[in-house]
């Protein structure tokens, strides 16, 4: 799959695919005046698929959204609030999530089982439902064909930047769009993180094929990022396909399936990397590329271990070419490793060859590590397994943000 199979749409967003509107408003969940309630709405019931956090404690909205999608594999509206996670809130939290769904269904004039809900923010505090009710009632007039940016703002918590992308591909002679928006900055770790992702497309595709595509894209993107090693209670990525773009039914045997899958994967990877780059207090994006592993599964585990190492992340923040921290992480990954054959590079600077130190220019390496992007390349020289993971450096600012998260 190459870049030529899709084209990035400048200024595109979740409303670019045909049939979608979005928007947001401030209903009072956040102490600031930034938007804290948003929605994506489709003109028709859209084929839907989703992936959820693997945390044993799952926030109430996740169960409600699972229930909605399970009914017939479709959604027509997705409502999200930020500033309050509605997690670990007991039976009241479940009732509040269901009330959000019912209120949104009434506001947008759609069947209740066609509405999904999700929340992000502080855990353990009940939703102030009077504010939520009032906000949902006001959403329809804010949900518009040009509302992608307002929606993006409504889903942010400690994020510093909005994360949005759209690509177009050719399917059956028609232009099909795939777009996405995401939030995530802290409590980020593989197997979903404190992150929410929303993908839209105007492709015509069955829910089973869409779910398989979502699972694969998630494994290669959202499940390959980490900021701090913590997996949240609220993580969810959901995709809605309106089917209004034309080009015929898409399926794995379709001649344009690979192009569509490449575009879909690019949207997921872009959003995942944007989350990693926007890690709380982060100053740089780190990419760990592992090749030569015994299997792809082993490579993924090793890449995740390296990118998740607090010592590796701290060394990158301090521009310290301490390769010992990298090889130590490789060795504790629990995967097969030949301790005599490991090569490590920082960018194009070789620091270890066949598990033996190589003399390198420390000043040049330090200068490289001061940049906004750091590539750590690990070759195990054992097999054909490969994987890539993304993360960020660990900074003083991360500690400051999380030491006072509720205040």
Same domain, 239 and 300: no
**Residue 135 falls inside a structural domain:** yes
List pLDDT tens digits, range 133-163. Answer: 999 999 999 999 999 999 999 988 766 678 8
CATH number at residue 385: 3.10.20.340
Residue numbers of the domain that contains 303: 285-403
Average pLDDT of the chain? 90
Angle between helices 207-220 and 257-277 (to 10 degrees): 40
15 is known as an active-site residue: no
Q: pLDDT band at residue 230, thresholds of 50, 70 and 90?
A: low
**Residue 178 falls inside a structural domain:** yes
Q: pLDDT band at residue 316, thresholds of 50, 70 and 90?
A: very high
- Segment 367-385 shows an average pLDDT of 97
Same domain, 25 and 131: yes
**Residue 174 falls inside a structural domain:** yes
Same domain, 69 and 178: yes
Answer for the pair 190, 278: CB distance below 8 angstroms, yes or no.
no
CATH number at residue 30: 3.60.70.12
Same domain, 50 and 140: yes
Same domain, 98 and 176: yes
Domain-terminating residue out of 216, 249, 275: 275
Same domain, 94 and 150: yes
Same domain, 30 and 174: yes
**Residue 280 falls inside a structural domain:** no
Same domain, 271 and 290: no
Answer for the pair 79, 38: CB distance below 8 angstroms, yes or no.
yes
Angstrom distance (rounded) from CA 231 to CA 21: 30
Same domain, 233 and 91: yes
Domain-terminating residue out of 275, 307, 331: 275
The pair of three-digit structure tokens given for residue 253, joined into one six-digit string: 């045997």
Same domain, 350 and 265: no
**Active site residue: 16, 65, 158, 194, which one?**
194
Q: How many domains does the chain have?
A: 2
**Residue 149 falls inside a structural domain:** yes
**Residue 94 falls inside a structural domain:** yes
Instruction: Give me the pLDDT at residue 277, please.
Output: 79
Domain-terminating residue out of 250, 275, 300: 275
Identify the burial level of 201 via C-beta atoms within 10 angstroms of its C-beta, where 0-12 means exposed, 13-18 middle and 19 or more buried: buried
Please check the confidence at residue 186 and state whether its pLDDT lies above 70. Answer: no
List pLDDT tens digits, range 92-144. Answer: 999 999 999 999 999 999 999 999 999 988 888 999 999 999 999 999 999 99
The pair of three-digit structure tokens given for residue 399, joined into one six-digit string: 């500690």
Please check the confidence at residue 231 and state whether its pLDDT lies above 80. Answer: no
**Residue 91 falls inside a structural domain:** yes
Instruction: Give me the pLDDT at residue 407, please.
Output: 54
Answer for the pair 226, 282: CB distance below 8 angstroms, yes or no.
no
pTM of the predicted structure, to 2 decimals: 0.85
Same domain, 94 and 241: yes
Q: Furthest-apart CA pair in the chain: how many Å? A: 68
Instruction: Give me the pLDDT at residue 2, please.
Output: 42
List pLDDT tens digits, range 82-91. Answer: 989 898 899 9
Same domain, 233 and 295: no
Q: What is the number of other CB atoms lying within 10 angstroms of the CB of residue 52?
A: 18
């Amino acid at each position: 799959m190459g870049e030529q199979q899709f084209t990035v749409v400048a200024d595109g967003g979740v409303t670019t695919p045909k049939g979608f509107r979005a928007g947001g408003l401030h209903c009072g969940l956040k102490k600031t005046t930034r938007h804290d309630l948003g929605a994506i709405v489709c003109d028709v019931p859209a084929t839907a698929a989703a992936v959820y956090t693997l945390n044993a404690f799952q926030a109430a909205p996740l169960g409600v959204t699972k229930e909605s999608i399970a009914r017939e594999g479709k959604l027509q509206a997705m409502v999200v609030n930020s500033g309050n996670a509605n997690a670990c809130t007991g039976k009241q939290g479940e009732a509040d999530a269901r009330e959000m769904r019912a209120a949104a269904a009434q506001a947008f004039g759609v069947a209740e089982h066609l509405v999904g809900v999700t929340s992000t923010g502080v855990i353990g505090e009940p939703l102030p439902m009077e504010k939520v009710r009032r906000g949902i009632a006001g959403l329809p007039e804010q949900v518009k064909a040009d509302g992608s940016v307002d929606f993006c703002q409504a889903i942010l918590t400690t994020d510093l930047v909005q994360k949005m992308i759209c690509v177009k591909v050719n399917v059956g002679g028609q232009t099909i769009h795939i777009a996405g928006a995401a939030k995530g900055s802290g409590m980020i770790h593989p197997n979903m993180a404190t992150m929410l992702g929303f993908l839209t497309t105007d492709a015509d595709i069955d829910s089973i094929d869409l779910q398989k595509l979502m699972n694969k894209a998630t494994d290669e993107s959202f499940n390959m990022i980490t900021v701090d090693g913590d997996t949240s209670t609220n993580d969810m990525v959901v995709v809605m396909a309106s089917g209004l773009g034309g080009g015929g039914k898409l399926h794995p045997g379709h001649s344009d399936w690979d192009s569509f899958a490449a575009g879909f994967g690019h949207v997921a990877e872009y959003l995942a990397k944007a989350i990693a780059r926007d890690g709380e207090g982060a100053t740089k994006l780190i990419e760990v590329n592992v090749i030569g592993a015994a299997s792809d599964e082993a490579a993924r585990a090793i890449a995740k271990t390296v990118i998740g190492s607090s010592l590796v992340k701290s060394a990158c923040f301090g521009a310290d070419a301490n390769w010992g921290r990298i090889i130590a992480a490789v060795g504790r990954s629990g995967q097969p490793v030949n301790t005599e054959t490991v090569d490590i590079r920082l960018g194009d600077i070789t620091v270890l060859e066949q598990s033996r130190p190589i003399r390198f220019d420390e000043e040049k390496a330090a200068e490289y590590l001061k940049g906004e992007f750091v590539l750590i390349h690990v070759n195990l020289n054992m097999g054909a397994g490969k994987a890539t993971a993304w993360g960020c450096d660990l900074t003083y600012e991360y500690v400051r943000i999380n030491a006072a998260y509720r205040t």
